[in-house]
Structure 1
Amino acid sequence: MTGSIETLFVAAVTFVGAHFLLASQPVRAGVVQAIGERGFMIAYSAISGALFVWMLLAYGAAPYVDVWYPAPWTRHVVFTIMPFSVLLVVLGYLTPNPTALGGERAFEAPDPAPGIFRITRHPVMWGIGLWALSHLAANGDQASIVLFGGLAILAFGGMVAVDAKRARKMGAKWGPLAMTTSILPFMAILEGRTRFDWAGIGWRRVGIALAGFLLLLLGHPYFAGVSLVH
């Protein structure tokens, strides 16, 4: 069911809540015991995908109700932040991710935190969080506040939750990674706990991220209904 702010709110709360609930230790342990680790990952991805689609449909069908009128300069905020947001997401997905679902295998690598993970150990969540906050600044209607606010809560709250879960599950293996990486971008580098790793990033991944950003820019009127290129 879609067509109201209330439905969107329920969809957003369910989407965000399901991530924290399914990833919690008691629930995850019970599900893994019942259907195995691979079964849990498939179920987690399927549930998350279905809830995400529901939330997007509810957002598209929700009425437009202004809460505030964004200043014209907020449009420039989106254009400034989004290239970095896309870059973080692409680099996070194209590099073995020790903090992702099923990313435990990355801990067995000689360098469990290469490339983008020297900058932050949560690049995908930072990318999603920055995307949500920039769009929240540029959209002052109720539906956008619910959608992008929910995604921001999931992204930034998820970083803390993932760290706690990884520390509990990986034990002694988590310590070296936590000491040589940081949640806050560039903090570990500035503190001298690690060094920038351009070789682990590479021009190929940056090129893919740039292409992805251009596709989002050109495709925005088709999937979001708003043209960004005039």
Structure 2
Amino acid sequence: MTLLILGLATFLGIHSIRIFAESFRNAQVAKLGLNGWKAVYSIVSIAGFVLIVYGYGEARLTPVAIWTPPLWTRHLATLLTVPAFILLAAAYVPGTRIKRAVGHPMVAGVKIWAFAHLIANGTLADVLLFGSFLAWAILNYASARRRDRAAGTEYVTGPITRDLTAVVVGLAAWTAFAFWLHVWLIGVRPFDG
């Protein structure tokens, strides 16, 4: 559990700098340059992610049950991840109406993903992992929207085909993950039960 906690603190800590320490971030960008800051940010993020993966895998070997979720929560979680994948895709397709409406679709997708997994899993490691990501995503989303309002950020939209692209790519990624990758990477079949 120690590695999981250390990984969460590292990964979410570096990802929380704009929420809690914008002036520190700006000072680092001024000192290191934008690319230098991105390099440090990426290295710390990767280190945190690796610790999360190993820590969560280790914690799953000796699970500490907090509650036993009903079977239907697994199916609900699987369905809730559909919009999460579409939002993730919309974050990378420029000029979507989705991004204009949501502002920060990746963070919104993380909120849905974390909530979905939190309701479907009842071990201590699950609560730490998904609860931490949910709390971070809520705080990050609110902070990012405040920055948008302060900066007067307007998200420009392009043709509707961009939204259709985000939906198709999101659905394709969800299908691949739900039916093949989730069991291969995590060891759990979302539709079993």
Distance 1:176 1:144 in 2: 36
Give CA deviations for 1:159-185 in whole Å, capped at 9, x if unaligned: 122234455xxx6xx2263xxx8xxxx
Quick check: which one's helix share is greater?
Answer: 2
1:127 corresponds to: 109
Name whichever of 77-86 and 21-30 sits farther off: 21-30
Matched, 1:20 2:20: no
For the aligned residue pairs, the C-alpha RMSD in angstroms reads 2.4
Residue 201 of structure 1 aligns to a residue whose secondary structure is: helix
- Provide the C-alpha distance between the structure 1 equivalents of 2:163 and 2:14, rounded to a whole number of angstroms: 35
Which amino acid in structure 2 is aligned with residue 138 of structure 1? A
C-alpha contact 1:129 1:152 (8 A) present in aligned 2: yes
**CA shift digits 1:53-86 (9 cap, x unpaired):** 2112111111311000101110121122111110
Aligned mates of 1:44, 1:229 — CA distance in 2: 36
Q: Deviations over 1:112-158 (max 9, x none)?
A: xx421232112111101100110010000000000001111121110
2:182 matches 1:223: no
Q: In the alignment, what sits opposite 2:168?
A: 207
State how far apart, in whole Å, the 2-side matches of 1:46 and 1:165 are.
25
CA distance in 2: counterparts of 1:56 and 1:122, whole angstroms: 25
Q: Letter of the aligned partner of 1:199 in structure 2?
A: I
- Percent identity over the alignment is 27
Tell me, yes or no, if the aligned pair for 2:85 and 2:170 is still in contact at 8 Å. yes
Aligned mates of 1:51, 1:7 — CA distance in 2: 9
| CA displacement at 1:49 relative to structure 2 | 2.1
Instruction: Give the whole-Å Cα distance in 1 for the aligned partners of 2:41 and 2:77.
Output: 31
**Counterparts in 2 of 1:5-16, with a 5 A limit?**
5-16=1-12
- How many matched pairs? 188
Write out the 4+ residue segments of structure 1 that deviate beyond 3 Å after TM superposition.
163-167
Larger radius of gyration: 1
- The AA in structure 2 aligned to 1:141 is T
Quote the residue 1:60 is aligned against: 57
Flag structure 2 segments of 5+ consecutive residues without an equivalent: none
| TM-score normalised by length of structure 2 | 0.86
1-side partners of 2:152 and 2:122: how far apart?
Answer: 42
Output the TM-score relative to the length of structure 1: 0.73
- For the 8 Å contact 1:22–1:44, the answer to whether it is kept is no
In 1, are the aligned partners of 2:64 and 2:123 still within 8 Å (CA)?
A: yes
- Contact 1:115 1:200 survives alignment (8 Å): no
Task: Give the gaps of 5 or more residues in structure 1.
Answer: 97-113, 182-193
The 2-side partners of 1:39 and 1:125 are apart by 24
Per-residue deviation at 1:6? 3.3
Cα gap change, 1:126/1:143 in structure 2, threshold over 3 Å: closer, same or farther?
same
Rounded to whole Å, the distance in 2 between the matches of 1:207 and 1:216 is 14
The structure-2 alpha-carbon separation of the partners of 1:166 and 1:46, relative to structure 1 and needing over 3 Å to count, comes to farther
